[in-house]
Amino acid sequence: MPSSPTALDRIRIVLCDTTHTGNMGASARAMKTMGLEQLVFVNPQNRPDDQAIARATGASDLLLSAPVVTDLDSAIEDCQLVFGSSARSRSIGWPTVTPEQAANIIAERDTSTKIAFLFGKEQYGLTNAQLDRCQYLVQIPANPEFSSLNLASAVQLISYQLRVTLLSKAPAADTADTASVKPSDLPASNAEFEGMFDHLTATLSAIEFVDLDNPGKVLRRIRALLQRAELSRNEAAIIRGICSATVPQDNQNGPDRQKNSGLNKDEVNV
C-alpha cells in the first residue's frame, strides 16, 4: 500500500470524558499502528498516568503530546466534518454509516477538510449534546445481541478502515482544481456552524417560535437537519443574514452574539 503522509493527517480522534487511563493509552497505540497522529482528550477523569503509558507501549509519544481540553468546542472548532461513534440508536435520527462508508465519504472530500471522530465515555458513549455536534453516526457492524466494544477496540477498527480506504484512493485534490474554490464555498467549520446556530436559536426565540425554557426536541431536530446539509461557509452566513433581517441583533435575547460567520458582507453569495 502506498505511503501518503497527508491522507490521514486530517483525521482527529477525540476521546470525550474518558474514565480509565488505560483506555487512553490503548487508544493511542491503536491509532499509531494505523498511522493516525491527532489525538485529543476532552474532559477526561484523569490525565494520562503510568497505566496509560504502559498500555500505550510504543505510542507514549502520541499519548503524552495529545492536548487535554475541558470542552468539546476547543477540540473540534476548526473541523468541517465530524463523525460520532456510538452503538446506541437515538430518538433523533442521524445518517448512520459503517466505518467503511465513513472512510469513503472522507475520500470524496477535499484534502483540506479537517475531520474528527468523537468517542464517548466508556459506560454509555456519546451524550446527546456531543452527538449534536456530528454530521454522521458511525456504527461498527457487530453481533446485535452483544455489540459493546472496548473503547480502544472501536478506535482500532475505525482507524484500520480509514487507513485501508484513504491510502488506497487518490485524494479528491488530484481530480479537482481546488485553487478555483472560493473560501466562502468551503465547508463551514464547527465554530462557524455553532455561531450560526446560536444566532438562529436566538432569532427563533425572539419570534416566539421556540420557548428556550421548554424547547422540547424542536431545536435538536433543526440542528440535525442543518448538520445533514453540511453547510458551506456561505450558506451559514446566508442563514445568519436571514436571522439579522428578521430580528435585528440588538433585539435578540439568547446566546452570545459575538461569534460571527468569518465572512465579510461582500463574500456572501446569495
Name the CATH code of domain 182-267 (choices 3.40.190.10, 2.40.30.10, 3.20.10.10, 1.10.8.590).
1.10.8.590
**For 207-231, how does the pLDDT look when each residue is reduced to its tens digit (9 = 90+)?**
999 999 988 889 999 999 999 899 9
Domain with CATH 3.40.1280.10 in the chain: 11-174
Cell numbers 468541517 correspond to: 80
Pick among 3.40.50.2300, 1.10.1840.10, 3.20.20.30, 3.40.1280.10: CATH of 11-174:
3.40.1280.10
Q: How far apart are CA 38 and CA 5, in angstroms?
A: 13
Pick from 118-122, 172-176, 191-195, 265-269: least confident? 172-176
Strands (E), 37-114: 38-42, 68-69, 81-85, 96-97
Closest to 80 measured CA to CA, from 227, 218, 221: 227
First to last CA, the chain: 44
- Which residue is it, cell 436571522? 243
**What does the pLDDT look like over 73-132, one tens digit per residue?**
999 999 999 999 987 666 667 789 999 999 999 999 888 899 999 999 998 889 989 999
CA distance 94 to 82: 12
Which residues in the chain are classed under CATH 1.10.8.590? 182-267
Alpha helices in 120-183 (DSSP H): 128-131, 151-166
Integer angstrom CA distances of residue 50 from 20, 63, 186, 255: 12, 11, 42, 41
> Which has the higher per-residue pLDDT, 249 or 76?
76
DSSP-derived 3-state class of residue 258? coil
